[in-house]
Amino acid sequence: MEAEAELEGTGPDGAVVADDELAGLKRDDELWQEDGNIILVAGGTAFKVYRGLLLDHSAVFEDMFSFPQPETSPSALSFTSPPCPVVHLQDSPAHLKHVLLTLMPRRKEVR
């Protein structure tokens, strides 16, 4: 996974703001946590996950998040509640999903 990422949709004051480009994103059904606190976007697919878990289990994310992040404004990203930052990555959605499932495995359905 590429370590280089940039925070998109920031206003002149550094706050995250709504962005028309974000409205067209496809939410990943398996890795969209309603109470997640960061959205990772790869190839038009959005993954809403937990920043703390990424920090705990990945040196790449730890390095990426060590840079100052803009604060989220109240009007940020109207399609999320509560609003949270969006990070665009250069990885493919399939690759990012594989990495995220490795870091945050899902419970298998018990029958």
pLDDT for the residue numbered 92: 97
> Considering the entire predicted model, what is its pTM?
0.69
Note the pLDDT tens digit of each residue in 29-87.
999 998 899 999 999 999 999 999 999 988 888 888 887 765 654 434 445 556 788 88
**Which of 76, 87, 94 minimizes the C-alpha distance to 5?**
87
pLDDT for the residue numbered 90: 92
What phi, psi does 36 have (nearest 5°)? -60, 160
Query: Do the Cβ atoms of 41 and 88 come closer than 8 Å?
Result: yes
